Amino acid sequence: MDLKLKDSVAVVMAASKGLGAGTARVFAQEGARVVMSARDEATLRATAERISTETGAETYPVAGDATKLDDIARLFDAAMTRYGRIDALVINAGGPPGGTFMAFDDAAWMTAVEGTFMNAVRAARLAIPIMTKQGGGSITLIESASIKHPIDGLILSNSLRLGVAGLVKTLAREVGPAGIRVNLICPGAFLTDRVKTLSEASAKRKGTRLEDELAERAAASPLGRIGDPEEFGRACVFLASPAAGYITGAALIIDGGTSRAL
Stretch 157-186 residues interacting with ligand NAP (CB under 6 A): 157
Q: Which of 8, 23, 29, 37 binds ligand NAP (CB under 6 A)?
A: 37
> How many residues of this chain interact with ligand NAP, rule: CB under 6 A?
29
How far is Cα of residue 46 from the mean position of the Cα atoms in its chain? 20
Looking at the Cβ atoms of 29 and 146, the one nearer to ligand NAP is 146
State the minimum distance, in angstroms, from the CB of residue 241 to ligand NAP: 20
Q: Which helix (H) or strand (E) holds 163?
A: helix 155-175
CA–CA dist 22, 27 (Å, integer): 9
Question: 166 or 245, CB closer to ligand NAP?
Answer: 166
Among 3, 11, 12, 16, binds ligand NAP (CB under 6 A): 16
19 is an interface residue for ligand NAP by CB under 6 A: yes
Q: Which stretch binds ligand NAP (CB under 6 A): 24-32, 72-80, 87-95, 199-207?
A: 87-95
Q: What is the DSSP string of 190-243?
A: B-SHHHHHHHHHHHHHHT--HHHHHHHHHHHSTT-SPBPHHHHHHHHHHHHSGG
Q: What is the DSSP letter of 39?
A: S
Question: CA 145, CA 157: separation in Å to the nearest integer?
Answer: 10
Considering only the stretches 106-114, 189-197, 208-216, 233-241, report the one whose residues sit in contact with ligand NAP under the rule CB under 6 A. Answer: 189-197
| Site membership for ligand NAP, residue 187 (CB under 6 A) | yes
State whether residue 180 is helix, strand or coil.
Answer: strand
Return the residues of window 102-131 that contact ligand NAP according to CB under 6 A: none
- Angle among Cα 114, 180, 36 to the nearest 5 degrees reads 55
Q: Does 40 bind ligand NAP (CB under 6 A)?
A: yes
β-bridge partners, 60: 35
Q: Should residue 225 be labelled a site residue for ligand NAP when binding is judged by CB under 6 A?
A: no
To the nearest whole angstrom, how small is the minimum distance from the Cβ of residue 63 to ligand NAP? Answer: 8
Neighbouring-strand partners of residue 182: 139
Nearest alpha-carbon partner for 230 in 187, 200, 198, 197: 187
**Closer residue to ligand NAP, CB minimum distance, 93 or 130:** 93
- Least separation in angstroms between residue 68's CB and ligand NAP is 8
Residue 234 as a binder of ligand NAP (CB under 6 A): the answer is no
Q: Are strands 88-91 and 137-142 parallel, antiparallel or unpaired?
A: parallel
Contact call for residue 259 and ligand NAP (CB under 6 A): no
Contact 194, 95 (CB under 8 A): yes
Examine residue 189 and tell whether it contacts ligand NAP (CB under 6 A): yes
* Interaction site with ligand NAP (CB under 6 A): 14-20, 37-40, 43, 65-67, 92-95, 142, 144, 157, 187, 189-190, 192-195
